[in-house]
């Protein structure tokens, strides 16, 4: 393969992905980072790659400030991104660390148009 790989995603049935994330983060500290992405999903990424770096790039490219940005998250792979937006929202069904990080909470969960409902209050 002659390409850069930025993320590998794994999933286990009936297994807590957090345990796998802890093991990967211990074994590959400083070289790879594992973060739970929802359900039993696990993203393995370079330590400097996350949704926050992508959002920061877009903010710079479009000359948009954090005070002009809304971000929505529900799981561990969203934590860094929520710091980049003044309008940071946790989904109703988000894990507790996301709810603690976010400034706002959506009125509904992922399966009931929570993002759309929150956006309607912003525009």
Q: Can you tell me whether residue 88 is helix, strand or coil?
A: strand
Could you list the mean pLDDT of each consecutive 10-residue stretch along the chain, which spans 123 residues?
A: 85 82 93 86 89 94 96 93 96 95 94 94 91
Residue 5 pLDDT: 81
φ, ψ for residue 92, nearest 5 deg: -50, -40
pTM exceeding the 0.75 threshold for the entire prediction:
yes
Q: How much of the chain is helix, strand and coil, in % rounded to 5?
A: 40, 20, 40
Pairwise CA distance, residues 110 & 50, whole Å:
21
Q: Which two tokens stand for residue 42?
A: 């696990």
Rg (CA), the chain: 15
């Amino acid at each position: 393969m002659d390409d850069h790989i930025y993320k590998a995603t794994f999933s286990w049935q009936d297994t807590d992905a957090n345990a796998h994330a802890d093991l990967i983060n211990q074994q590959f500290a400083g070289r790879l980072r594992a973060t739970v992405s929802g359900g039993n999903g696990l993203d393995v990424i370079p330590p400097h790659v996350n949704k926050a770096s992508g959002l920061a790039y877009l903010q710079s490219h479009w000359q948009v400030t954090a005070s002009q940005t809304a971000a929505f998250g529900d799981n561990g792979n969203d934590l860094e991104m929520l710091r980049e937006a003044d309008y940071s929202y946790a989904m109703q069904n988000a894990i507790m660390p996301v709810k603690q990080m976010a400034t706002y909470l959506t009125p509904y969960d992922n399966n009931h148009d929570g993002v759309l409902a929150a956006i309607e209050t912003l525009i």
